[in-house]
Structure 1
Amino acid sequence: MDKLQKGHSAVAEGSIFDAASRRGDKPEETLADADVVIMLDCSSSMSEGIAGGTETRYDEAKKAVADIQRAFPGRVVLVSFASHAQLELTGIPQSPNGSTNMREALEIAKQFDGLDTKFYLVSDGFPDSQGTVLELAKTFEDPINVIFIGDDYTMSGMEFLGKVADITGGTDEGQISPKMLGDTMKLLITGQ
């Protein structure tokens, strides 16, 4: 596994590290059972506040991912991306910073493709390189489902995510409030 997260002492309940520890397994063994991959945008724009409150999109997305991991222990692989992407076996996304390297997130997620994996790409905007993201997305066997948690002024980002879903046969959930991300994703994962 390339780009494993290193040097973090905090571990989210239900994350790959947590589930492996509880089972007495190695993280690699728990990864083999995972069937959900969340690619989470952690670019600097995710640190912007949500209208009408002090919470940021990142704060809400981090809560949602923690909630999802608790609900589906050992099943959820988190790939966070900003200027660089990384596999977050601790279940804790990197802090918001830098650009939107969506391609690198797809490269990491690709290792789980073809295994009937449920992919979810969550972002608030446009990637650094649209063309290379779309080219890589075309190679996925499993659909990539997309969720836009940006503002109305970044609707071009939502349109781009729709293209990723179309290319892979995934669903485009459109624009949702970051506060609804956890509930929305749990419904999508369970198929309800």
Structure 2
Amino acid sequence: MTIVQGSLSSIAKQNQISIAESFINADCICIVDTSGSMEDKDSRGGLSRYEVACQELSQLQKNLPGKIAVISFSSAVQFCPNGVPVFLGATTDLAKALNFVKVADVPEMRFIIISDGQPDSEEESLRVAATFKNRIDVIYVGPEDRPQGREFLQKLAAVTGGKSVTVDRAKELQAGIMGLLHAG
């Protein structure tokens, strides 16, 4: 199993602490869409959106060691302490992912959704998002010619007072996340 430098697992091993203890020091939870559409190979170098998102998240964790918890979601949800979002395929159950991370909705926690939009249920996703105390920022990584995905993510961010960033097919994911983490 690959362990990304700076991931929660890496920090736990380095500091000889549990993953749970390393999670306590995380400032941000990145909720990464790993549904079937993230396999589309329309990103830089002919790579898939998922592959580029993994590359960028790896670099981000290296630059912010121990500060980012990674969650993969599709029709299932999985915590990824090694820093690599597990490609799950299938559909996009964003409401399930939001319910999964809701337990970490504590003061000062940041939430960032990385997705190409179009969840299984927009209504349910917006309902769950509206229950968060902290804002949810979003990064749209889908194609420019599919505005409905981007528009949904903008709506979700607005419900929570979050910000929306459009990244051209994950090309500048790291810069987008860094911008959101350093924004007030």
SS in 2 for 1:77: strand
Give the residue type in structure 2 aligned to 1:93.
P
User: Structure 1 stretches (4+) deviating beyond 4 angstroms?
Assistant: none
Superposed, which structure 2 residues align to 1:1-192 within 5 Å?
9-50=1-42, 53-95=45-87, 97-191=89-183
SS in 2 for 1:164: helix
CA contact (8 A) 1:87 1:108 kept: no
Cα shift at 1:189: 1.7
Aligned-residue RMSD, C-alpha: 1.6
Q: Which runs of 5+ in 2 are unaligned?
A: none
Range with bigger deviation, 91-100 or 173-182: 173-182
Distance 1:154 1:142 in 2: 28
CA contact (8 A) 2:44 2:171 kept: no
State the percentage of identical aligned residues.
30
Distance 2:67 2:43 in 1: 32
Cα shift at 1:177: 3.8
Cα shift at 1:52: 7.0
Cα shift at 1:51: 5.8
SS in 2 for 1:153: coil
Give the count of matched residue pairs.
184
Q: Which runs of 5+ in 1 are unaligned?
A: 1-8
Distance 2:167 2:84 in 1: 24
TM-score of the two chains, using structure 1 as the length reference:
0.90
Distance 1:116 1:153 in 2: 35
Cα shift at 1:125: 2.3
TM-score of the two chains, using structure 2 as the length reference:
0.93
Cα shift at 1:62: 0.5
Range with bigger deviation, 52-61 or 112-121: 52-61
